[in-house]
């Protein structure tokens, strides 16, 4: 099934230092009820670098149980040690998940050949679908379109979360990609622009909030009703910078706590609680009482 729509890279709720499984289950049910297109726990927004192996498996198991095949479930799953990534695949394949969101190897800054070989080895080692995550400002390396399109020839490399930061590269990719391959933006403010240029959707942390509006914009754009989509988008787009004014996902967690969707806005170090000034601006912008 082609990857389209509004996908949510879910936060991981914590309470008193531990994963808050009750809030986690409630969040999953909430977003399924909202009509979200797909869920991606344990990405960067899910604070995956700070989750232990035991916690990782528990969170995967709970997500698979709660989703139960109702919507696509991908798991954030990558690293800069190719062998270690391959060895961990068996953990995922025990559970009912559809695919992985796999980031380009970070810090090592491999060549294009190294990037190609990394993802090919993952592709060959699993039957799970793969969404590649290209985000150079975090990883230090850009996956060029030429390399990505070569990878897209593989049957189980089905999509990219595009956060390359270069609009020219993105537009060229949208023009050149095969019909079966999906390009979803990971840059929240680019959502409308990507859809207008033929993108299939977005993997959007800000869709934790006002999820229905994001879904309405996607539906209207797919119906080629750009004029109707734009006013809703403008209202939502104006709130996005606040959610990234301080490191993600702390601002989003604060709003979710205020809305009663999670028990605590706790994040794990090295992330920190947001400033009082940002709390005030979020309260005003999201009408939190």
Say if residue 257 is exposed, middle or buried (CB neighbours under 10 Å; 0-12, 13-18, 19+): middle
User: pLDDT tens, 227-237?
Assistant: 999 999 998 99
What does the alpha-carbon distance between residue 64 and residue 256 come to, in Å, rounded to a whole number? 22
User: pLDDT tens, 74-127?
Assistant: 999 999 999 999 999 999 999 999 999 999 999 999 999 999 999 999 999 999
Provide the token pair at 270. 């090295």
| Fold (topology level) of 5-224 | TIM Barrel (3.20.20)
Please give the average per-residue pLDDT across 155-170, as a whole number: 97
Active site residues: 133, 161
pTM of the model: 0.96
What does the alpha-carbon distance between residue 16 and residue 225 come to, in Å, rounded to a whole number? 46
Nearest to residue 35, comparing CAs of 71, 69, 80, 79? 71
Nearest to residue 166, comparing CAs of 147, 143, 148, 146? 143
pLDDT at 289: 67
User: pLDDT tens, 167-187?
Assistant: 999 999 999 999 999 999 999
């Amino acid at each position: 099934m082609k990857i389209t729509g509004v996908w949510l890279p879910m936060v991981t709720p914590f309470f008193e230092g531990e994963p808050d499984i009750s809030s986690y289950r409630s969040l999953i049910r909430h977003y399924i009820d909202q009509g979200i297109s797909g869920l991606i726990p344990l990405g960067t927004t899910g604070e995956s670098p700070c989750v232990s192996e035991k916690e990782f498996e528990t969170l995967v198991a709970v997500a698979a149980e709660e989703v139960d095949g109702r919507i696509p479930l991908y798991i954030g799953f990558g690293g800069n040690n190719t062998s270690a990534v391959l060895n961990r695949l068996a953990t995922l394949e025990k559970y009912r998940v559809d695919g992985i969101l796999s980031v380009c190897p970070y810090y090592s800054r491999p060549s294009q050949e190294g990037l190609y070989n990394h993802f090919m080895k993952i592709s060959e080692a699993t039957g799970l679908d793969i969404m590649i995550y290209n985000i150079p400002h975090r990883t230090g390396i850009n996956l060029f379109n030429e390399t990505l399109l070569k990878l897209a020839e593989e049957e189980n490399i089905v999509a990219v979360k595009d956060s390359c930061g270069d609009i020219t590269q993105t537009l060229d990719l949208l023009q050149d990609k095969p019909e079966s391959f999906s390009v979803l933006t990971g840059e929240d403010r680019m959502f409308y622009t990507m859809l207008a240029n033929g993108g299939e959707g977005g993997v959007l942390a800000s869709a934790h909030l006002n999820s229905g509006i994001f879904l309405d914009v996607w539906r209207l754009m797919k119906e080629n009703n750009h004029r109707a989509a734009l006013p809703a988008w403008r209202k939502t787009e104006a709130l996005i910078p606040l959610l990234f004014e301080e490191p993600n996902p702390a601002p989003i967690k604060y709003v979710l706590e205020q809305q009663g969707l999670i028990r605590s806005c706790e994040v794990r170090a090295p992330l920190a609680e947001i400033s009082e000034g940002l709390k005030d601006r979020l309260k005003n912008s999201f009408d939190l009482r």
